[in-house]
Amino acid sequence: MAGWSTLARKTFQRDTNQGRDELNTSCDSLRAQFIDACCGSLDNPPCALDHGLETFADLTERRMLAYENATKELLNALWSGAYPGSQSGYLGRQMATSTQIVRLMREMTAQTTIDDIVDDAFQHFGVIPADMAQSLQYAMRHLVFAVVGWSTMLYTPIFTSADGDFGTLTNQSGTFHNPTAAKFLEESSNRPLGAVLRNYGLMPIACPPGAGMSSLGLPTLLTVTHLNFFSLSKLGDVTIPWVDDLSKHCEFDRYSKGKELKLFRLPSLCARICLNPDAEVLVGR
């Protein structure tokens, strides 16, 4: 990141008491804060759809634990620098850190880069990047990219190496394994986040607008009333695999052998968010 080598050495102001309070909260409270940051403030009474929120949090926790080897040292540096004496375990620190990154992401613009979010996160935790090992600076970039995927469920991030470019299980073509990988990491981190996601093929597939009638005078799109699993399965020989990533929702290859129509696994999460149209949803940005 260009600003790391020239960053002025100054003492960032921080509220250490607030940090200790966050670490003393229960795991359920940390989960609730993360859900609220990602999905918006849901003030409606509890309902059956809330199970989707819990499933979302469970899936996110599993993904966070998969990143423990990649980010444990980084989290230790962040929390010991900003909040001395922290006794929180890895998952608690990861959940609280990810929640703060999500809050920073909610303030981003169309031109915000991963490095911009990294700088804001370092400042929040009172860490001077120039004082950190380069591997930890790289790890912070990977953590921000991972949090984007965890919080929006657009993709499943994977960690390959500290100086390797960002990678996902959703689209393996985004990973690089060569001596110049660090160059790609620099480029990806300094481009607007939206451009990076589009380059990786991770933006949600937009439904095409209606195109009127075909040359035979028939509708070019099926109406909702005519589209159901029976018609897809019996007439079209289509199977429905459920996927964890929103970027794969409604993906269909008509020429594939299996004729699979992929659907997002947590429709109840989307439905619960839609119950409060005034809530600002992170994925909507």
Every domain of the chain and the residues it spans: 16-199, 224-284
Cβ atoms of 95 and 30 closer than 8 Å: yes
pLDDT at 225 (0 to 100): 66
pLDDT at 6 (0 to 100): 33
User: How far is residue 77 CA from its own chain's centroid?
Assistant: 22
pLDDT at 258 (0 to 100): 74
Provide the whole-model pTM.
0.78
Is the pLDDT higher at 197 or at 275? 197
Output phi, psi for 168, to 5 deg: -140, 150
The β-bridge partners of 82 are none
Q: Which two tokens stand for residue 93?
A: 């620190």
pLDDT per residue as tens digits for the range 24-46: 456 778 888 998 888 877 666 67
The β-bridge partners of 252 are 261
Q: Which two tokens stand for residue 260?
A: 């699979």
Q: Exposed (0-12), middle (13-18) or buried (19+): which is 165, by Cβ within 10 Å?
A: buried
d(CA 137, CA 139): 5
- Nearby residues of 133 by Cβ (< 8 Å), 6 or more positions away: none
